Amino acid sequence: MSTPSTTKEPLIRKCVVPAAGLGTRFLPATKAIPKEMLPIVDTPTLQYIVEEAVSAGIEDVILISGRGKESMVDHFDLAVELEAVLKARGKDEEFRKLRAISELANIVSVRQKEPLGLGHAVLCARDVVGHEPFGVILGDDIIDSDDPGIRQLARVYRQHGLAVVALMEVPEEETHMYGVAAGTDIGDGVIRIDRIVEKPKKGTAPSNLAVIGRYVLPPEIFGILETQQPGAGGEIQLTDGLATLQKTKGLLGYKFKGKRYDAGDKLGYLKANIAFAMKRPELRDSLLAWMAEVVRTGQP
């Protein structure tokens, strides 16, 4: 077990964001645009993820990317020509917003050449992460919280010095869609996990606590994933690696605070758009009035 940090240094400096998928659920939008670049209101999903990482003190974001997805890296680079145009037009506010995106974090891109699964995607970051604990954020899971999801997990890691995964209660009939964990509640939303399985068959889930896409992991996970055999769906699963980690070093779950949207699903993506639009003062009132009208008449 690693020693819990007592300094004010950010404990987790690196974060892995698996983003190599083809995004087939969002075709045709994703024919030429990475799924991660689809906007929630006016901001790419990936930017929310990177901002969440930065809020937890993370400096380096390691994108596990695939062919044709270079725009994800471009988004976090300086846009020299665009900035010059905005300056010339006196659009200072927009200029500042754009510049801030390029100053958010160091973005490192690593190619996952074959779609061998989430565990394999995380393993692709091994050389860049090195021998230190790191975060993992899955872009399909948007967590809306004043206290960003990965920051909550980093705090639990700092306190206990053990790997931690985000957990959320889901209806029994949905457990087969997730990694599912069971264990002992040790207080303050922390669970000492004694069983974790990926996508259990209906009726076999050990609990109704689903793994949601936030993890803080020790570097030992790489050695485990290296020899991990394919599991559910014939893929190298991160959850299976975590099951081994649970047995060797221990594993915690944390019932995070916040609202989660499944942005990998069309309905979840639409809900996230509405929820985030309602936080915008310039959109909220007219959106609410329109939604009330839709509900009243059953027509848009």
Q: Which residues make up the interface to ligand G1P (CB under 6 A)? A: 118, 138, 140-141, 178-179, 198, 210-213, 237-239
**Least distance (Å) from ligand G1P to the CB of residue 134?**
17
Rounded to whole angstroms, the Cα distance separating 236 from 256 reads 26
Cβ of residue 117: shortest distance to ligand G1P, in angstroms?
Answer: 8
| Residue number with CB closer to ligand G1P (19 or 107) | 19
The number of beta carbons lying within 10 Å of the beta carbon of residue 4 is 12
Which residue, 225, 211, 220, is CA-closest to 165?
211
Phi, psi dihedrals of residue 65, rounded to the nearest 5°: -115, 175
Q: Which residues pair with 163 in a beta bridge?
A: 251
* CB closer to ligand G1P out of 270 and 291: 270
Chain centroid to Cα 205, Å, comes to 23
CA dist., res. 260 & res. 104, Å (int): 23
Q: How far apart are the C-alpha atoms of 23 and 285, rounded to whole Å?
A: 33
Q: Between residues 157 and 261, which has the closer beta carbon with respect to ligand G1P?
A: 261
Q: Minimum Å distance from CB 166 to ligand G1P? A: 9
By C-beta, is 37 or 236 nearer to ligand G1P?
A: 236
- Pairing type for strands 106-111 and 14-18 reads unpaired
Question: How far is 271 from 188, CA to CA, in rounded Å?
Answer: 29
Beta strands in the chain (DSSP E): 14-18, 39-40, 43-44, 60-65, 106-111, 134-137, 141-144, 163-169, 179-187, 190-198, 209-217, 251-255, 259-262
Classified as helix, coil or strand, 166 is: strand
Nearer to ligand G1P, 150 or 211 (CB): 211
Closest C-alpha among 46, 49, 53, 40 to residue 69: 46
Q: How far is the CB of 79 from ligand G1P (least distance, A)?
A: 31
Nearer to ligand G1P, 57 or 206 (CB): 206
Q: How far is the CB of 243 from ligand G1P (least distance, A)?
A: 11
Which residues, 6 or more positions from 28, have their beta carbon under 8 angstroms from its beta carbon?
Answer: none
How far apart are CB 247 and ligand G1P at their closest, in Å? 17
Determine the residue with CB nearest ligand G1P.
179
By beta-carbon proximity to ligand G1P, the closer residue of 134 and 178 is 178
**Closest approach of Cβ 233 to ligand G1P, in Å?**
8
**229: CB partners within 8 A, 6+ apart:** 236, 240
Name the residue nearer to ligand G1P (CB basis): 224 or 238.
Answer: 238
